Amino acid sequence: MSLATYILRRVLLIVPTLFGVSLLTFALSRIVPGDPARLAAGAQATPEMYEQIRREFGLDDPVPVQYWNYLSGLFQGDWGRSILSRRPVLEDLAVYWPATFELVLFAMLIAVLLGVPLGILAAVRADRPADQVSRIVALLGVSLPAFWLAILFQIFFGLRLGWLPVSGRLASLAEAPPTLTGLYTVDSLLSGQWATLGDSVRQLLLPAITLSFPAMATIMRFTRATLLETLGQDYVRTARAKGATERQVVTRHALRNALIPTVTMVGLSFGWAMGGSVLVETVFDWPGLGLYATKSALSLDFMPIMGIALLYGLVFSVINILVDVTYGALDPRVSRA
């Protein structure tokens, strides 16, 4: 199968999955015990206002009709309206997604830049003190509650030491850079606003480090395991036998092969970090999809949650395809069956 056909087939397979996601979240939104229209109308609403809101959100149609309207709307760019923000969900998603993407991207950068070298170190010094330390760090990394770690960072680095800001994407009076990508760091870099760049990086640091922890731990231990496995292969023994130095053996012979499975792990961790960002965004008041999801869930505003689930489903599926394609490109033994 050619690469193009393979990618096309995988992309087409996303459609039924997303259809299922829409059905699942729609079904969920209909079993909500509270009445969203009542919530939106508020306690002082007159019966007329209440009826108008029901009509406005299409809540007085039969349920199958509501689903059909929702589904056909999805294809026309109408993802429903948020009762809370009173704006179309798609507009909200466009505003909040870049913030989440920036946060997850930075967290993954930290996780890979620290996790891979530390994993190599742990493998090269397997079962020696450095490896034991990395084992404990990894255990803590996956066991620490992200929302609690976030609070500890706020207390220590924000309030006690006063080094880093504890909430938001920008300092309170700073102006956002002109929107090019929606990523404040990239936008301020491209438009040469150095003060804003410094500010947005400082704002990013604590949430990104918090979010990177579990991913870093997983990538580190995974790199260690695959590198150790590769170091036991015959061709590594051959390299040693012909007199290659240990550094050459690790960097030229073993590492290249060992890092291929790590690509998969990085892709998976990216997906997990998107889920984990919900808690980190909530604590750091980071205006991304996670905070949007939390606020919507708390006010039983289901249209945004359905939109977020679809968007995450789409992103997750695309990441999976990217990972598989990259893996195939790096390792010719993998078939695209």
Do 205 and 164 touch, CB atoms closer than 8 A? yes
CB of 335 to another protein, least distance (A): 19
Q: Is 159 in the site for another protein (CB under 8 A)?
A: yes
CB of 97 to another protein, least distance (A): 14
CB of 141 to another protein, least distance (A): 10
Q: Which stretch binds another protein (CB under 8 A): 31-39, 106-114, 198-206, 261-269?
A: 31-39
Q: CB pairs under 8 A, 24+ apart, for 29-38?
A: 29/302, 29/303, 29/305, 29/306, 30/63, 30/66, 32/300, 32/302, 34/300, 36/83, 36/300, 36/301, 36/302, 37/83
By C-beta, is 20 or 178 nearer to another protein?
20
CB of 159 to another protein, least distance (A): 6
CA-CA distance, 86 to 84, in Å (whole number)? 6
- Count the helix, strand and coil residues of the chain and give each as a percent rounded to the nearest 5: 75, 0, 25
- How many residues bind another protein, per CB under 8 A? 55
Here's the x/- map for another protein, 271-300, by CB under 8 A: it reads as xx-xxx-xx--xx---------xx--xx-x
Q: What's the burial of 129, exposed, middle or buried (CB within 10 Å: 0-12/13-18/19+)?
A: exposed
Q: Is 33 in the site for another protein (CB under 8 A)?
A: yes
By C-beta, is 174 or 271 nearer to another protein?
271
Q: Which stretch binds another protein (CB under 8 A): 28-36, 83-91, 171-179, 233-241?
A: 28-36
Q: Which stretch binds another protein (CB under 8 A): 109-117, 153-161, 185-193, 235-243?
A: 153-161
- Angle between helical axes of 302-330 and 3-30 (0-180°, round to 10): 160
Q: Is 82 in the site for another protein (CB under 8 A)?
A: no
CA-CA distance, 99 to 194, in Å (whole number)? 19
Distances (CA, A) of 306 to 45, 104, 119: 26, 21, 38
CA-CA distance, 184 to 147, in Å (whole number)? 24
Residues that bind another protein (CB under 8 A): 16-18, 20-21, 24-25, 28-29, 31-34, 135, 138-140, 142-149, 151-152, 154-155, 159, 221, 225, 229, 271-272, 274-276, 278-279, 282-283, 293-294, 297-298, 300, 302, 305, 308-309, 312-313, 316-317
